[in-house]
Amino acid sequence: MSRALGASTFAFAWREPALDALRRLQALGLNGFDVILTPGHCWPGELTAADRSRLAATLAAEGIRIDSVNFPALDLNLASCVAEVRKYSVGRYRDAMLLGAELGARGVVAVPGRVSPLIGPPREETERWLAESIAELLAVAEETDASVFLELHPQTPIPTVQALDRFVAGFDDPRLRVAYDVANAELVCEDQGEALRRLAPRLGQVHLSDASTTRWAHDRIGHGTVDFATVFRTLDEIAFDGACILEVVTATPLPDIEASMAALASDAPAKLPLVDRGGKG
């Protein structure tokens, strides 16, 4: 696997400031990062204009490139049935996109809402609320010359490639792209080669970590059942030139990310025994 790799700061979000994490990840030979937005790590409301200017200058001086900014989405819901929640969520994404523009990011990763796994409002209504929120984000994307990367995610009203592709195609807006997460796709039993070929015209990012069809995780590569050979063969086939982001979310991120890089550098990543290490929130 010869593709350049970036990485997510997700596993560092509750540990240290984003700049420290970015420096650690760059030292591994990674660049083109997805920066998670949490208080104490990187949070728009905590950064003054001077802070943002200094951070942007430091990133440029050290050659650290940010591809996107990204909320954990624990407190946000772009598809909520409550209008006030949608308004709040759109406002936070606007803050994120403005910060991303100052830091040179290509765009923002957005989880397209959250729905109850038990029962919720009618799907048509939920998708309508989500569409209204996304339309507002696209207006901000126009202002900031950025993209919105909607992430394939199993807890949203559009959890499969078929549903996500249909939703994105309905906007016919080049700023609305897809962040394809191979671990999330594995959980919902997607044919990853077929999915990537379908998404090719709208694919903006690919998130890389391991999981299985029975256990949601974002583990080091080799700890699950994702067929990375097929993933990368298909990315070559469709001539994907966007960011490939290692999103390994574990308690030991640096060794697990290094192990994942080594696995991807081989022709066939070794499969390790499945270990229950929890899932991404």
Q: Which two tokens stand for residue 74?
A: 């624990």
pLDDT value at 276 more than 70? no
Interval 97-126 mean pLDDT: 92
Alpha-carbon gap, residue 27 to 182, rounded angstroms: 25
Q: Is the dihedral of CA 2, 23, 36, 257 positive or negative?
A: positive
161-170 pLDDT tens trace: 999 999 999 9
CA-based nearest residue to 225, from 255, 194, 167, 269: 269
Interval 104-131 mean pLDDT: 92
155 confidence band (pLDDT: 50, 70, 90)? confident
Interval 39-46 mean pLDDT: 96
- Tell me, what's the pLDDT at 215? 81
- Tell me, what's the pLDDT at 147? 97
pLDDT value at 268 more than 90? no
Interval 135-163 mean pLDDT: 94
Q: Contact 2/232 with Cβ under 8 angstroms?
A: no
Interval 147-176 mean pLDDT: 94
Q: What is the CATH number of domain 6-265?
A: 3.20.20.150
Alpha-carbon gap, residue 134 to 226, rounded angstroms: 30
Q: CA neighbours within 13 Å on the CB side: how many for 52?
A: 17
- Tell me, what's the pLDDT at 22? 98
Q: Contact 111/73 with Cβ under 8 angstroms?
A: yes
Measure the CA angle with vertex 160, ends 156 and 165; round to 5°.
100
- Tell me, what's the pLDDT at 161? 93
96 confidence band (pLDDT: 50, 70, 90)? very high
- Tell me, what's the pLDDT at 189? 85
- Tell me, what's the pLDDT at 279? 39
Alpha-carbon gap, residue 171 to 268, rounded angstroms: 38
What pTM was estimated for this model as a whole?
0.91
Give the domain ranges of the chain. Answer: 6-265
